[in-house]
Structure 1
């Protein structure tokens, strides 16, 4: 009986609150003209945008200059001098601690004439999954270098074996004598947006999670006698290029990299919309990471990759960037290698195409730096 008496009281209270709220809104409308309020709010929004853009773009160089203390007297000296920045970059990605909770499982995963394997490695509630394929002749007596081949946001681990923008570059690597590991990362803008929201709440990031998955796969795959664990490279296209740029500073086992269709004048790309190139905002919120532009524009991030060999590929008809800005950013990045007296270890392939991988040049670059017959083992 008491419950029955309470229910009408609760309903009356709720009705009263709603009525009061409606009355408050009505009163507020009488206190300020809606057009005036809208103009005031839009002015504040403009202030915030201008303040943050000024911090990210105009103040970037002065701010970054105070954060970096590079020593170019030797490659080892550079790596030591940027170790504080490397730790801060790790704080941007915030890779979580994951542990292997079972053995690696492998099953046949034929891709046309290519006899590949599908790998699954349990990591608690997560799994690390990838395609693995070997060139003919790979074995214990003839171990081969390994390339991590990372697909883009609209693709799958199988896509780099296909035509189109990928131009079968995974197959090109196999034909050149490389083993290829093609990790499965999360596909589609919508999915990455959704998961990145949860990742930020959890104090991590999707690229950080996917880095750790690849690191655990490398632990196991590099123990395979068919693989030369000292000769590991990475080549990513589009969001796979992002992974290459993001992961090489934190994974020293990757000895050389190729970045296709990603490298950019990062401050403009992320913070200054321009009709000459596409912007991530407002649709692709997954691409914005806390602290990224405090000191890690692409040219600065490259100094966490040096002295390892790095190739940048960009098409003049790729609308992710205004290509002259890419050239400017590349020239800044190349300074790190010039000051180390190893300018040959970084190169830009500026081509007339679009958002794609350039196979012949990329394969040759990795062959030069990662094969026994190349420049260094």
Structure 2
């Protein structure tokens, strides 16, 4: 497009006039724009919060006559959930590489799988008894936003829960996802422009890793679980509806009354706004509260862990959301497949309960 000198002067002049508008007094314009912002906020919050239950009733058509019927009846919702995450198509572009990797006194492997311009990276560790003759179940262990694949093997909020899993006879696959609020904010902006999401990209990376790792004869490919803490808990809840190979899960420090968490500010719990824009996804609250997402995981067993001192949520609201989630399992006459570990602590993994739950459903010989 070409511009003449006169047209450039006109454009420049318009910019000056627009920036120095003296027709409307600033005080009047501020009142006007504040009122418009309030209209928009009220309109959207009404849609997200006040109209959610009515909208949800129309969006779901669950059939609890048997487990397969429920799975089939939520398939349209599952397809819409996939649109929320919008996972991209990635293809393997080379073989899996492995190198010995020490985690203190634990010997594991650092593995990398090329996926075109991306790579899928993880720590992979087997318990001592794993062999071709005795394949073991495997747990995808997902770290949170401020952590690394090594964190679940360390003290702190993770309480070395990856070691607890190894001691219980599980192999551990600990993928590396992008950490830090600033990094995830930046990449999520690009992802939205590209019609995808960072959790969608990271889901596909893990799926490709599972393709390769589950082919290892030391792994029992029919016994796969996942346990994530914080943003790793988000990954567990986000991915299980779309990855049927994950047979059971533990979610620590994420499960919530999602409508309140994302759209209702309160001194009772922390908010992702305004700093963590990476945590807002297109279409999430159209029909996918946490209890609704759980219905796409059922009838697979799931444990939800929350600490009363964890300010990500107001714990009575977590209990209320859990009861809604449990209702899906009760209607299937399988209430034992969902548990809430409500503990007095904070934002952390509760190791013994989580390991026991996964052992019951994936490794009963170790009970």
Same fold, TM exceeding 0.5?
A: yes
Name the counterpart of 1:118: 110
Name the counterpart of 1:108: 100
SS in 2 for 1:170: helix
SS in 1 for 2:316: helix
1:253 matched to 2:242: no
Structure 2: unaligned runs, 5 residues or longer: none
Deviation at 1:15, TM superposition (A): 4.9
Name the counterpart of 1:3: none
Question: C-alpha root-mean-square deviation of aligned residues, in Å?
Answer: 1.5
Name the counterpart of 1:325: 317
1:218 matched to 2:195: no
> In the alignment, which of 60, 78, 87 is matched to residue 86 of structure 1?
78
> In the alignment, which of 236, 240, 243 is matched to residue 232 of structure 2?
240
SS in 1 for 2:356: helix
Deviation at 1:19, TM superposition (A): 3.9
Cα distance change, pair 116–39 in 1 and its aligned pair in 2 (3 A) = same
Name the counterpart of 1:49: 41
> In the alignment, which of 73, 83, 87 is matched to residue 65 of structure 2?
73
Paired with 2:95 and 2:19, the residues of 1 have a C-alpha distance of: 61
Paired with 2:169 and 2:178, the residues of 1 have a C-alpha distance of: 28
1:1-377 correspondence runs (5 A): 10=5, 14-15=8-9, 17-23=11-17, 25-26=19-20, 28-29=21-22, 31-373=23-365
Structure 1: unaligned runs, 5 residues or longer: 1-6
Paired with 2:15 and 2:225, the residues of 1 have a C-alpha distance of: 62
What is the TM-score when the length of structure 1 is the normalising length? 0.95
Cα distance change, pair 236–23 in 1 and its aligned pair in 2 (3 A) = closer
Deviation at 1:32, TM superposition (A): 1.2
Partner deviation per Cα, 1:3-61 (whole Å, 9 max, x = no partner): xxxx9x84x764564345324544x31x2110110110011001100110010011001
Partner deviation per Cα, 1:298-352 (whole Å, 9 max, x = no partner): 0000000000000000000000000000000000000000000000000000000
Deviation at 1:164, TM superposition (A): 0.5
Deviation at 1:136, TM superposition (A): 0.8
Q: How many residues align?
A: 366
